Homo-oligomer: A and B are copies of this chain.
Amino acid sequence: MSVARRLRIAGAQMGPTQRADPRAHTLGRMIALLERAAGAGAKLVVFPELAFTTFFPRWLIEDPADLLACFETAMPNPGVQPLFDRARALGVGFCAGYAELTPAGQRFNAAILVAPDGAVLGRYRKVHLPGTIAPRSGARFQQLEKRYFAYGDQGFPAFRAPAALGGAITGMLICNDRRWPEAWRVLGLQGVELVCIGYNSAAYDPNGGQSEDAALRVFHSQLVVQANAYMNATWAIAVAKAGIEDGSGLIGGSCIVDPHGRIVAEAATLEDEVILADCDLDQCRQGKTKMFDFAAHRRPSQYGPITERAGVIEPQGPD
């Protein structure tokens, strides 16, 4: 049976989710976005990182019960089941970020990929955790991902989606991962055709500098998605949680990018918004078989430092 390789995908950008918002309210927004996307013919809908909650790593949460309330102990679970049910009824797949608490008590910043028939195709645990373990004194907003989450421990798996999703070889990245070409390349080495990304990115320099504003941070976000999509000959969709969340600004700039690195759809607001594109997965083919024919052109013997060490070793001077 031949598989239709042309697939309409949707990004479900979300406006802010305040810490006080009830889960049912947030889930209702997500279902409304899902329905809007499905009504427009989308077969796959991508939601942001930590889609079910506010971006809670901005807060130092000292009460363990308050922290655990942000996490999902299973996926699906009763608090998200209506989204899974509605997606299955509509026959659309989806990808969504969530905070994962394992039975062993490990916490991950995770994402899940669900097929149109409700089957869980795969899960990804964020590898590139930004921020710090200890809160920064005097900072109005923290970035405590390194405190609340363990580093993803299963690499960057790609999953072959079913025929209803064009058989797309699909990967997931979460927020900061998109700035790391290693993450994209490990997906590229699995022949990835669609990379689904959710993010919560501050609209100011989250590291305390004064040199980055919202426009520059949207530029950075789109630049890395565009270039890494091109260099791996894949479609990519990057979806924001945007707007003023708990008093802290988040960029929008959600976009869908083709295997040439061109933006083909882009969000115009900082609110709940659906973006759509028809993605011909076979457009990945030229890049994968010519310019980026990895087997023909990559030279792993020259890449040793990439896996041998994490940090910088500067060269000696000429004097």
Whether A260 sits at the interface, judged by CB under 8 Å, is yes
Chain B nearest CB, measured from A129 CB (Å): 8
- Is A156 in the interface zone, CB < 8 Å from B? yes
Query: Is A158 an interface residue when CB atoms closer than 8 A count as contact?
Result: yes
Q: Does A135 contact B (CB under 8 A)?
A: no
B-contacting 9-mer, from A11-19, A66-74, A271-279, A288-296 = A288-296
Listed in ascending order, the chain A residues whose CB lies under 8 Å from chain B are 115, 119, 121, 127-130, 151-153, 155-162, 167, 169, 176, 179-182, 184-186, 188-191, 205, 207-209, 211, 216, 219-220, 223-224, 226-228, 230-231, 260-262, 286, 288, 290-292, 294-295, 297-300, 302-319
* Residue in contact with A160 in the complex, picked from B159, B306, B316, CB distance below 8 Å: B316
26 of the cross-chain contacts (CB-CB < 8 Å) are: A127-B302, A129-B297, A155-B302, A155-B304, A155-B305, A157-B315, A159-B315, A176-B297, A179-B231, A189-B306, A189-B309, A190-B313, A191-B313, A209-B286, A211-B286, A219-B262, A224-B227, A224-B231, A288-B312, A294-B310, A294-B312, A295-B310, A295-B311, A299-B310, A300-B309, A303-B307
Q: Is the CB of A128 within 8 A of B297?
A: yes
Q: Chain A binding site: helix, strand, loop or mixed by DSSP?
A: loop
Copies per assembly:
2
Interchain CB contact under 8 A, B167 and A306: no
CB distance from A20 to the nearest CB of B (A): 30
Name the one of B261, B291, B297 contacting A223, with C-beta atoms under 8 angstroms.
B261
A53 to B161, CA, bound (A): 49
Whether the Cβ atoms of B290 and A161 lie closer than 8 Å is no
Find out whether the CB atom of B299 lies under 8 angstroms from the CB atom of A151: yes
Q: In the complex, what residues of B have CB within 8 A of residue A211's CB?
A: 286
A207 neighbours in B (Cβ, 8 Å): 286, 290-291
B312 touches A189 (CB 8 A): yes
Whether the Cβ atoms of A220 and B319 lie closer than 8 Å is no
Contacts of A115 in B (CB 8 A): 318
Quick check: B156 and A302 within 8 Å, CB to CB? yes
Among all A-B residue pairs, the 5 with the closest Cβ atoms: A295-B311, A227-B227, A181-B181, A207-B290, A191-B314
A310: chain B residues within 8 A (beta carbon): 294-295, 298-300
Q: How far is the CB of A145 from chain B (nearest CB, A)?
A: 11
Given contacts A310-B294, A310-B300, contact A216 B318 (CB under 8 A): no
Smallest distance from the beta carbon of A183 to chain B beta carbons, Å? 8
B306 touches A306 (CB 8 A): yes
Complex Cα distance, B207 from A286, in Å, reads: 9
Within the complex, what minimum Cβ distance (angstroms) separates A182 from chain B?
A: 5
Query: Which B residues touch A219, using CB under 8 A?
Result: 260-262
CA distance A169 to B315 in the complex (A): 8
Which residues of chain B come closer than 8 Å to A205, judged between CB atoms?
290
Chain B residues whose C-beta falls within 8 Å of the C-beta of A186 in the assembled complex: 302-306
Q: A162-B319, A180-B298, A223-B227 are in contact. List 12 more A-B contacts (CB 8 A).
A: A153-B302, A167-B317, A169-B314, A169-B315, A180-B297, A182-B185, A220-B260, A224-B227, A227-B228, A294-B312, A303-B306, A304-B307
